[in-house]
Amino acid sequence: MSSEDVQSLAGFREFFPAEFALRQHIFAAWRRVAARYGFVEYDGPPLEPLELYTRKSGEEIVGQLYSFTDRGGREVALRPEMTPSFARMISARAGGLPKPIRWFSIPQLFRFERPQRGRLREHFQLNMDIVGESDPLADAEIIAAALDALRELGLDETHIVARVSDRRLVSAILTAEGVSDDRHLAVYAVLDKADRETPEWLSERLEAATIEEGTRARLLELPTLGLEEVRLRYARDEAILAAADSLDLVLSHLGSAGFGDYARFDAGLVRGLAYYTGTVFEIWERSGDLRAVCGGGRYDDLLASLGGVDLPALGFGMGDVVLAELLRDLELAPDATLEIDDFIVCVSDDQRGTALAVGAALRRQDRRVIYDLRERGVGRQFKTANQLGAARAIVVGPDDVARGVVVTKDMSSGDTGEIELGELLDGPDE
RNA sequence: GUGGGCGUAGCUCAGUCGGUUAGAGCGCCAGGUUGUGGCCCUGGAGGUCGCGGGUUCGAAUCCCGUCGCUCACCCCA
């Protein structure tokens, strides 16, 4: 059986050079931005004990675990998210690290689920987290970093928007509306669909959650309200005002940092993960054709609940699959071809030694150099140089070498010149 | 997990009332000769028509299954 008979697994990608170029383009942008915000990179094991996830992760994630029994009989799982590993690593070192801690990672994550557009069984996800700071300034910082990571790739406020909310605010509003705690999750689920479903459908769902008719109408208005309207409507509720103040600070800081047009309050935003305790946000493409590009929030209780240090924390995850599709759709994906600087034309094998020395010298100058790997006609070599898009051809022929030079030719203008061999081979710069 | 659409050369696709060695464009390779490319000309390689089974004298074309892709649902990273 040849290797071609065995297909790659469903939901797993093969990165041919064009795809790999886009992936590296994205990773490089992420790393540049992370560095600018003072984040240091870490990584954990791709394979973890199954119980790391079954113990504390949500039901949904457990149901999609890519798990199996290893040859030693141990139940293991490919990591579906980074947070548990991150929590363990942070807990091991947090005591000795200055706070706040700023760490980022680009793990490959896995889950066993039906692949579809923007969602595979494997993806890379930028994770950025801040640990040890509860001030709203940290919330603004992490959201700014997320937006910057996208802006670095050419996306601006016309392409993307961050929807920002706060679990405490929405929770306080529900309580003020007389919705008991045990029904909050059901209401969140409905609000989350506010922009995708009809009012009738939403109302029916609220009715099913035993919400009274008058309250239903008021709840369904929430996603359309601005922060000021919320403040006015619930002006006498201390808990709501306090949460609104906090959120206001986050948005205000974002504005000062230059992201005012990128972020807006949206009470309809309710992130799926249950461990968020405060600020939550998602970044969406404006058209809404694709899903969220990024999601995150504050999870002040998670580290302690995982048995680690008791420190406030917040962060986000940004996947590469949807992002890559978005960049391609907007024609922001880079040209995958490697730009060749010099193509060395070796007139005959008699000059081969000189040609190789010239190539080595140019490569020491960090130029991208290619030449034919067998003897071929000069015309053929120029054709190849042109085909490869080389910026310059360097002809190494008997007449030139006898004069102690090589001939250069700019491939786009056709202009020719000469370089002294002696200068090139033992130039002053090396 | 549920339902719909699709699956022919590296790429984009033609090719069905089932009928001789399955085509085009682009790309790739080699020539158009021995010191100069982009155009052009000529030639060539490359497909068990996703895979398996069935119907038929005969299937890329019809039927079933399967795998993959894709869209929607579900749900989320």
Residues A361, A324, single domain; the answer is: no
- Interatomic distance A374 CA / B38 C1' (Å): 22
- Interatomic distance A240 CA / B28 C1' (Å): 67
Domain boundary among A329, A364, A379: A329
Residues A280, A168, single domain; the answer is: yes
Domain boundary among A265, A299, A329: A329
Place of tokens 């363990």: A88
Residues A163, A31, single domain; the answer is: yes
Residue A1 lies in a domain: no
Find the helix or strand (DSSP H, E) in which A219 lies.
Answer: helix A213-221
pLDDT at A135: 96
Residues A120, A59, single domain; the answer is: yes
- Interatomic distance A288 CA / B58 C1' (Å): 52
- With CA of A116 and C1' of each nucleotide, the nearest comes out as B70
pLDDT at A225: 86
Pairing of strands A47-49, A40-41: unpaired
pLDDT tens across the length of chain A (430 residues): 334 456 677 788 888 888 888 899 999 999 999 999 999 999 999 999 988 888 765 555 666 788 888 889 998 989 998 999 999 999 999 989 999 999 999 999 988 877 777 778 888 999 999 999 999 999 999 999 999 999 999 999 998 999 999 989 988 998 998 888 888 877 877 777 776 667 777 787 777 777 777 888 888 888 888 899 999 999 999 999 999 999 999 999 999 999 999 999 988 787 656 688 899 999 988 875 666 889 999 999 989 988 789 999 999 999 998 888 888 878 888 876 778 999 999 999 999 999 999 999 999 999 999 999 988 899 999 999 998 889 999 999 999 999 999 999 999 899 999 999 998 887 655 4
Residues A324, A231, single domain; the answer is: yes
- With CA of A412 and C1' of each nucleotide, the nearest comes out as B38
Residue A6 lies in a domain: no
Among A108, A107, A145, A99, smallest CA distance to A313 is for A99
Give the E-state strand segments of A57-157 in sequence order. 66-69, 75-78, 101-105, 108-110, 122-131
Whether A150 contacts A162, CB under 8 Å: no
- Write down the H helix ranges in A335-418: 352-364, 378-388, 398-402
- Per the structure, how many domains does chain A have? 2
Q: What is the CATH number of the domain that holds A43?
A: 3.30.930.10
Task: Give the HSE-up count for residue A420: Cα atoms under 13 Å, Cβ half-sphere.
Answer: 5
Instruction: Return the sign of the alpha-carbon dihedral for residues A174, A177, A180, A185.
Output: negative
Residue A334 lies in a domain: no
Residue A3 lies in a domain: no
Residues A299, A229, single domain; the answer is: yes
- Name the amino acid, one letter, at A263: A
pLDDT at A336: 67
Residues A386, A317, single domain; the answer is: no
User: In this predicted model, what pLDDT tens digit does every residue of A209-264 receive, in sequence order?
Assistant: 777 778 888 888 888 888 999 999 999 999 999 999 999 999 999 999 999 999 99
**Interatomic CA distance for residues A206 and A201, integer angstroms:** 9
- Interatomic distance A377 CA / B72 C1' (Å): 58
Residue A366, CA distances (Å) to A340, A361, A363, A371, A410 in order: 11, 9, 5, 16, 18
Residue A65 lies in a domain: yes
Residues A286, A417, single domain; the answer is: no
Residues A293, A255, single domain; the answer is: yes
Instruction: Return the sign of the alpha-carbon dihedral for residues A357, A406, A412, A153.
Output: positive
Tokens of A255: 């504005």
Give the domain extent around A224: 12-329
Residue A5 lies in a domain: no
- With CA of A384 and C1' of each nucleotide, the nearest comes out as B37
Q: What is the CATH number of the domain that holds A387?
A: 3.40.50.800
Residues A232, A175, single domain; the answer is: yes
pLDDT at A430: 43
Domain boundary among A271, A295, A329: A329
Residues A166, A211, single domain; the answer is: yes
Residues A120, A94, single domain; the answer is: yes
Residue A87 lies in a domain: yes
Chain B footprint bases within 7 A of protein beta carbons: 1-2, 28-29, 31-38, 48, 67-77
pLDDT at A289: 63
Residue A203 lies in a domain: yes
